[in-house]
Structure 1
């Protein structure tokens, strides 16, 4: 056991490194219990996300997961990484790095000494690896824990803010007051107009699917709707990346079975014209994906579905509607507060660490120059354009 808080002798923890998949699989029930008891855990590090991702993307890779146990042997924190090759050695990336919006650990942050030991273990990873990368650390974790921890550390690091995170916080269940505070008279009038015009086209209805069977049976409709939207055509859609279809077809039903997913559709007659994929927490809703049929963009189907789902979340007592990273125009307009995610590369003080840092810095400058020279727009630019059209 590692004594963590000398002022409280009864508080002691054990830090473990898990490097075998079979060992981590045996911890899944405990990971589930920890995740379920926390008020606001990283939704992308739920057991469903982690093990579905590993099934598709983890084959042939080496894992390293940091585990913290309390004195009573209860699991108190976990932070999973995979080993990647680099200049002169190996580095570490977090799991779900290509499909997540957050990458901070799952930890009981109200348990004194728990996160401190986890961060000691995180820092200790540099003894065996020449860098550790965390792409999307939530600002709350950064400000409370990681930034103070790194303040006196001599290792070189790269820090940046890759994305803003807009959120809508509902103070009560009066959605109309919130909506009027965020939408001017002309915007509300236009919204009522597109609602009426869509109803004139045919029967309009909204449907939510939250059980495993319902979600599984509607994945085909989601794929088909994606193919009729601009995101798939520009390869920024839900299924655009390699392996995404197999991964999501395993993940989404599993999330629904755990009560952590809502798949919502807007139908015109029997044709789905918009779909929203939402992540469910205790008092949290995360807007993971929104798509619509390009043929109906004049009717703003995405906006209509979003507004309906925001009202539902407010009225069912979910106080936080997280738009997730990306300062798109519609997110900023509807948000009541703004946060950020932080990206961190931490490098070992060695020749390998130095060469890796120089390589990453060079790649960042090269990509930035290519975007400027070729006029390449970022995903945020395209998403903002999509929302303005809708």
Structure 2
């Protein structure tokens, strides 16, 4: 049963008669919740939702999003859109997405509504229970139609051709609204029904493997080389301190982009990592030389998916490819019976991880046509301008959905 005594439903299916698991869709309710309204009861329902999400997204789980909101800048009117199976707070939580009004949209001085992300948030796919993707979008679009927020909806950082994308396109088609994929990128993904050793030998050239083994042995001649993997909270604060210091020591510290460069990002990181540990979703890996960290990796898990979050390495040892060496150890994810894939969360064309992980996850930005003649005219004008600029710059937007059709 859920928090209010309602029976939990983990598997939802919308029937043609307008019901879902015996409940009329008309009873499903959307709610706009200000950040100040987040409390312990919601967090419990939120955690249950994340465990049953159609597409895992740790960046919108409570232990990550709450520290983000607490420590990082965001629009003062940011709200959570929540989908409930009935009366808000007295039924099962079915969907969640943080949204805020924005302006301008790139070079165009027009208002729009966008899911909230920040520089250390690498996925914007909503948390929605399996089977309810379409009703989530219907309720959200309907709520935005009645909202005081002007402009069109822009969803960034969403998995292309996943259940949420497919449902959004289908809903928009049924509502006769455009749903345009306006940007796409492909980032490294680790998956495969093979062992870590088989994956490594199949996808990394023999010459490259020999070179990596040679420099690993050279590193071992300098001192004692150790690899560690931790999935608990033991000595977590000390480990976090080491990570922050190691990252700040390198180029990110010199450019001011290291997590330790501001109090806000430092405390956000510390809180998020602690939250992941408490939820049993944290994995830490490190490579040490005589006990001192050379490279460190923070990853998170949700459902049967994993997310590489942050990595740091000592640039004094860059000739030994410390990041690559640790990622080779990280291929052990393939041997896990509880993990199907790992999203690198790296940028497209990343010089290190793209050479190790051969599969790709496509992430995109979507612009959805709004209700109303004026807003639609503005939307179509912006999209016309974007397409013209795209042709001039020869920008390519790859849509896996079109490749499969």
Alignment counterpart, residue 48 of structure 1, candidates 63, 70, 73: 63
In structure 2, the residue matched to 1:78 is 96
| Superposed displacement of residue 259, structure 1 | 1.2
The answer to whether the 8 Å contact 2:155/2:367 transfers is yes
In structure 2, the residue matched to 1:17 is 31
| Superposed displacement of residue 336, structure 1 | 4.2
Provide the C-alpha distance between the structure 2 equivalents of 1:127 and 1:310, rounded to a whole number of angstroms.
48
Provide the C-alpha distance between the structure 2 equivalents of 1:53 and 1:200, rounded to a whole number of angstroms.
42
Query: Compared with structure 1, are the counterparts of its residues 197 and 259 closer, same or farther at alpha carbon in structure 2 (3 Å cutoff)?
Result: same
Work out whether 1:245 is the aligned partner of 2:259: no
Query: Compared with structure 1, are the counterparts of its residues 59 and 94 closer, same or farther at alpha carbon in structure 2 (3 Å cutoff)?
Result: closer
Which SS does the other structure have where 2:235 is aligned? helix
Alignment counterpart, residue 29 of structure 1, candidates 44, 47, 51: 44
The answer to whether the 8 Å contact 1:18/1:24 transfers is no
In structure 2, the residue matched to 1:206 is 227
Which SS does the other structure have where 2:38 is aligned? helix
Provide the C-alpha distance between the structure 2 equivalents of 1:97 and 1:158, rounded to a whole number of angstroms.
23
| Superposed displacement of residue 266, structure 1 | 1.2
In structure 2, the residue matched to 1:346 is 368
TM-score between both structures, scaled by the size of structure 2: 0.78
In structure 2, the residue matched to 1:120 is 138
Provide the C-alpha distance between the structure 2 equivalents of 1:270 and 1:369, rounded to a whole number of angstroms.
54
Query: Compared with structure 1, are the counterparts of its residues 99 and 133 closer, same or farther at alpha carbon in structure 2 (3 Å cutoff)?
Result: farther
Structure 2, unpaired ranges of 5+? 1-13, 394-405
Which SS does the other structure have where 1:27 is aligned? helix
Which SS does the other structure have where 1:306 is aligned? helix
Provide the C-alpha distance between the structure 1 equivalents of 2:241 and 2:380, rounded to a whole number of angstroms.
43
Work out whether 1:335 is the aligned partner of 2:353: no
| Superposed displacement of residue 358, structure 1 | 6.0
Query: Compared with structure 1, are the counterparts of its residues 22 and 219 closer, same or farther at alpha carbon in structure 2 (3 Å cutoff)?
Result: same
Cα deviation, 1:291-318, whole Å, max 9, x if unaligned, reads 211110001111111111222x223322
Query: Compared with structure 1, are the counterparts of its residues 290 and 368 closer, same or farther at alpha carbon in structure 2 (3 Å cutoff)?
Result: farther
Which SS does the other structure have where 1:53 is aligned? helix
Provide the C-alpha distance between the structure 2 equivalents of 1:263 and 1:279, rounded to a whole number of angstroms.
9
Provide the C-alpha distance between the structure 2 equivalents of 1:286 and 1:6, rounded to a whole number of angstroms.
36
| Superposed displacement of residue 177, structure 1 | 1.2
The answer to whether the 8 Å contact 2:172/2:179 transfers is no
What is the correspondence of 1:52-201 to structure 2 with a 5 Å cutoff? 52-57=67-72, 61-70=76-85, 73-84=91-102, 91-110=112-131, 114-124=132-142, 125-128=144-147, 129=149, 130-139=151-160, 140-155=162-177, 159-172=181-194, 174-201=195-222
| Superposed displacement of residue 104, structure 1 | 1.2
In structure 1, the residue matched to 2:3 is none
Count of residue pairs the alignment pairs up: 364
| Superposed displacement of residue 235, structure 1 | 4.8
Provide the C-alpha distance between the structure 1 equivalents of 2:391 and 2:264, rounded to a whole number of angstroms.
27
Deviates more, 1:58-67 or 1:243-252: 58-67
Query: Compared with structure 1, are the counterparts of its residues 202 and 37 closer, same or farther at alpha carbon in structure 2 (3 Å cutoff)?
Result: same
| Superposed displacement of residue 268, structure 1 | 0.8
| Superposed displacement of residue 11, structure 1 | 3.5
What is the correspondence of 1:211-230 to structure 2 with a 5 Å cutoff? 211-212=232-233, 214-230=235-251
The answer to whether the 8 Å contact 2:54/2:130 transfers is no
TM-score between both structures, scaled by the size of structure 1: 0.81
| Superposed displacement of residue 131, structure 1 | 2.5
| Superposed displacement of residue 60, structure 1 | 6.8
Deviates more, 1:302-311 or 1:276-285: 276-285
